[in-house]
Amino acid sequence: MAGTMLAARLHEPGKPLSLDQVPIPEPGHGQVLVKVHACGVCGSDVHFVEGHSPVARTPITLGHEPAGVVHQAGPGVEGAAPGQRVAVRPGTRCGECEPCSLGRDNICEQSQVLGMHVDGGLAEYVAVPAQDLIPIPEGVSFAQAAIAGDAIATPYHALIERGQLRAGETVAVFGCGGLGIHAIRLARLAGAATVVAVDVQPGALERAKRAGADLGINAAEERPSRAIRRAIGGADLAVECVGHPDSIAEAARSLKRGGRAVIVGMGDQPIALPPPNAFTWSENALIGSFGSSAGTVRRILAMAAAGRLDLSESVSAVLPLGDVNRALDMLRAPGREVVRVVIEPGR
């Protein structure tokens, strides 16, 4: 498909994204060209722009949460009809490595993440593998479908599939941004007896309580692990959505005997954990969690379509592509009241 399009491109970490006119990508073998109707912006995009997490190359188009319609199918593609409403998984999968063969395609050995390794969805069009498309059910908007693959499926994978949350257990969620807020909602949906929210921003804690948290702990004012132990005797499951060394250590310290701490937050700083005895004597576990599988995204969309998962408050703002740097600023703002910002390139 000849022609050009607008794309939000990172040319150099530490500088704002540039809105560039670039060629519309041609879908290769097994790929589909998707006309982007919505693309979520999240904290990872802020990390890429600020240089805290490296991208594979520059310039690169950011955006790993796109949704839209199939525009054109490349060679070797079957079953992707033009006009079909689809969400796109953030990471590709090879389908052949050991993790893929075990149904753990979120940790595919050959995976490439949109907007990190290859050009992403903060553009008018994006070319992606056809196998990474997920049909959007009726009743789910493009904006909601866009964020489902990361902001919602990621905490679902952490809570249910990695953390093995059981009804009646207590849950502590560290970090109440987009991932954390949805972790709180999902924990409630899964039958958690008590949900504790931890953040350093009073506004985020108030938002967490509206999302279903029973208790909010300000980590800037008191040590969260002590407050959690004092209030509920410790957490069965702690989910860390920040990626900060102190937050990870506190999540591990907040557990009761036999508890699990699941680390979702990304970061490159070394962490200081409690001593080995804190894990061995109590059989506590420290678990990593990354993204989600294609099946998880389908479950999330099906839950939303059936009315079991309310996403009406998940999108805090919808902006045009030209306001992408404003969207990043909204996520950076102290005391932010933002869950997810969505960019609509055609807006």
Cα distance between residue 154 and residue 65, in whole Å: 12
Find out whether 274 and 245 touch, Cβ atoms under 8 Å: no
pLDDT given at position 310: 84
What CA–CA distances, in Å, run from 87 to 56, 134, 276? 23, 5, 43
Distance CA 4, CA 100 (A): 35
What phi and psi, each to the nearest 5 degrees, are found at residue 332?
Answer: -80, -25
Provide the β-strand partners of residue 62: none
Q: Beta strand 66-73 with 31-41: parallel, antiparallel or unpaired?
A: antiparallel
Q: Which domains does the chain have, with CATH numbers?
A: 4-150+292-344 (3.90.180.10), 164-288 (3.40.50.720)
Q: pTM of the prediction?
A: 0.90
H/E element, 6: strand 4-10
Sign of CA dihedral 282, 288, 291, 295: negative
Distance in angstroms (rounded) separating the CA atoms of residues 331 and 344: 17
Amino acid at 69: V
The low-confidence residues of the chain, meaning pLDDT below 70, are 1, 334-337
Q: What is the pLDDT of residue 63?
A: 95
Q: Please name the helix (run of DSSP H) or strand (run of DSSP E) that holds residue 41, with its range, or none.
A: strand 31-41
pLDDT at 1: 64
Instruction: Using alpha carbons, list the distances in angstroms from residue 238 to 151, 163, 208.
Output: 18, 8, 15
Can you give the pLDDT at residue 154? 93
Which of 50, 56, 49 shows the shortest CA–CA distance to 10?
A: 49
Phi-psi region of 221 (alpha: psi -120 to 50; beta: other; left: phi over 0): alpha
